[in-house]
Amino acid sequence: MSHLVLWEFRPRPGRAKDFEAAYGPEGAWVRFFKKSDAYLGSELLRDEADPSRYLTVDRWISRECYEEFRRRYSSEYQELDGRCELLTEHEARLGLFRTLDP
């Protein structure tokens, strides 16, 4: 079983490439999350019907591990989030999910 954190984003006009670089597989968020052994990876998804809409899926071993990471690296998280807010006009956490692996 794993824990998933889903976010929805809309980059600012003209900032899509910068957004993709920051949130993509080699981006700042992935590098930051790799500080934790409990981090399992991220995916950046672009909506085919609405190319200005993106989703991110961050995978963690458990919700507790994700929350501990957020507490431990709170100031660094806030700093990175602040820098990345300049790239987006919309950001919303869609929820915390758990896989239903047997």
- In percent, the amount of the chain with pLDDT more than 90 equals 96
Farthest-apart Cα atoms in the chain, separation: 44
- Assess whether pLDDT exceeds 80 at residue 101: no
pLDDT of the residue at 1: 78
Q: Walk me through the domains of the chain, giving residue ranges and CATH numbers.
A: 3-98 (3.30.70.100)
Query: What is the mean pLDDT of the segment spanning 12-16?
Result: 97
pLDDT tens for 56-94 read 999 999 999 999 999 999 999 999 999 999 999 999 999
CA dist., res. 20 & res. 101, Å (int): 30
